[in-house]
Amino acid sequence: MKAVILVGGEGTRLRPLTYSTVKAMVPVLNKPFIDYVFRYLSNHDVNEIILALGYKPDCITDYFGDANQLGVRLVYSVETDPMGTAGAVKNAEPHIDDTFFVMNGDIFTDLNLTDMLRFHKNKGAKVTIALTPVEDPTRFGVVETDNQKRVKRFVEKPKREQVTSNMINAGVYIIEREILNRIPKGKRFMFEHDVFPSLLADRGPVFGYATEDYWIDMGTPEKYLQLNRDLLCGKSTQVAFKAGDICVGKRSSVNPQAKLTAPILVDSDCIVGKGVQVKGPVIIGAGCKINNGATIENSILWQDVTIGEQAVLKDCIIASNSYIENNACIECATIA
């Protein structure tokens, strides 16, 4: 089975983090986000992954190569201009020969792809769209289905009084290859606005696969912080971390007079000084130095970050090679 991951553009919603690091490579529990996606797909017998790349493709190709170590084969499909979700898949058409998965590149989910594929085949679908419930569907595109799970219509960001369902497009699809014939070559085209509604209008068999498995779009700093927090607290089946865990990496030192409150993940070669308070969930990347008396709460530090003495960080994301001055007090900030 093959899958296309839509890595695409620079991830404007994650700025300023993505000025220097592409969205797919931002660290999650100190590993590149896309690494989790590869392993997730491999666990569902996806043996070839086509990466639809746009912005800074070398950041990914140089790091992963052919990804044989992950048990999958990587194929790179690079677009010179943004082609939209469907246009990017059309660009990868030479590598697609049968039914395939499509997945937005900023989605983390425990969705059972194996069961979703079984559903797709049993329904005789041309397209199956994964659906997930949300508390406020007015911010998303709502998908209405009948009692056979066949999609009836799409409602883009409905008003509160128009809401008839809380199930939204989860950004994971199963698509029959013939659907690529509906996508013009070399033109910006979107599955959500062009392909799926058109297929529905032609009474094509489009089905919705509903799931309540863990799902998050980590495309904003707030959601990125939440994803890391959720994984530290054991909310995903893909990560064996638990809310009470404190994990300190090799060659890292923690002063006996520092106070650590779980959950906390500290990578290798870090120094945590005297009187430091780390109040989880907190993730500290490799080579970080937390100087005496600093406080870090509900935050993520990438690699080689230095936190000054008596500095206070709360609800922050600090990118690699940053320096926080002594006595600084920073809350709800993204620093790159």
Per DSSP bridges, beta strands 107-109 and 141-145 are: unpaired
Structure tokens at 137: 């569907």
Place of tokens 């990587």: 74
- C-beta atoms surrounding 28 within 10 Å: 19
Please name which of 196, 190, 161 lies closest in space to residue 175, comparing C-alpha atoms.
196
Q: Is residue 320 within 8 Å of 284, Cβ to Cβ? A: no
Set 121, 157, 187, 242: catalytic member: 157
Please, which residues have CB within 8 angstroms of residue 195's CB and are 6 or more apart in sequence? 86, 179, 182, 183, 189
Structure tokens at 102: 């499509």
Chain-centroid distance of CA 114 in Å reads 20
Structure tokens at 293: 């008396």
CA 276 vs CA 131, 211, 267: distances in Å: 44, 42, 17
157 is catalytic: yes
Q: Is 8 exposed, middle or buried (0-12, 13-18, 19+ CB in 10 A)?
A: buried
Phi, psi (rounded to 5 degrees) for 140: -130, 180
Q: Which residues are catalytic?
A: 157
